[in-house]
Structure formats: C-alpha cells, structure tokens
Amino acid sequence: MPTTNRIDVYWETPDGWNDLVKRLLDILDMFPFDIKISQIKEKFGGLRCYVTYDWYEATDEVRNVIDAFEKISEYTCVDCGEVGKIVAVNKYHYIPLCSRHTDK
C-alpha cells in the first residue's frame, strides 16, 4: 500500500497493520534528513522495517522509533488492528491475533 507523505514506499503487511505502518511513516517523515525504506513486511509475527539514512548521528533515534513500532505490532491483530497476542497458526508460522480472530 503506497503512502502520501515524503517517504514513498510500497509495503506488504496484513490489513490490520495499515494504520500502524502509516503512523510509523508519518513519524519517520518528521526527521530532517532522508530516510530510505527498502522494505516493510511481516516476519516471525512482527513488523519489520528495513531502512537506510544519510545522517549517522540519528542512528539510535531512528532505530528506537522503528523498534517501538515493531514491538507494538506483536500485540496488534493482523486482521483488524485490535489488541492481540502472538499465536501459532501452524508449526512454523506465528502471527498476532485478537481474541475474536484467534477463535476462527
């Protein structure tokens, strides 16, 4: 799904994370230097955002923002965006689901 802010990226994440990804991009867009996002996806039940940026001093600041959103995604249902927890879909696939979607 493309975004309309300064950071233009296509991401492939579950629909329940669309608002989460948009908020992450809005925050990253506020940094006063270019951030290039190479990929945003779901991996191991959590959001993964791979970036590069030009200003070396901001490494911790950018990483802390991304780390926070990656952690939040682990408690955000991939189907609806409500609060959830990571559950095993099968032996190798884990995703966060709310109680409503866990029962399906």
Q: Mind listing the pLDDT tens digit for each residue in 53-102?
A: 665 656 788 889 999 999 999 999 999 999 999 999 888 889 999 999 98
For residue 64, give its domain range: 15-74
Q: Which pLDDT score is estimated for 8?
A: 67
Q: Which pLDDT score is estimated for 3?
A: 45
Which tokens is 18 given? Answer: 């669309």
Tally of structural domains, the chain:
1
Whether residue 6 lies inside any domain: the answer is no
Output the 3-class SS for 22-64.
HHHHHHHHCCCCCEEEEEEEEECCEEEEEEEECCHHHHHHHHH
Whether residue 102 lies inside any domain: the answer is no
Whether residue 27 lies inside any domain: the answer is yes
Whether residue 38 lies inside any domain: the answer is yes
Mean pLDDT of the chain: 86
Percent pLDDT > 70 in the chain is 86
Whether residue 92 lies inside any domain: the answer is no
**Position 75, amino acid:** Y
Whole-angstrom distance between the N-terminal and C-terminal Cα of the chain?
26
- In a 13 Å sphere around the CA of 40, the CA atoms on its Cβ side amount to 25
Whether residue 25 lies inside any domain: the answer is yes
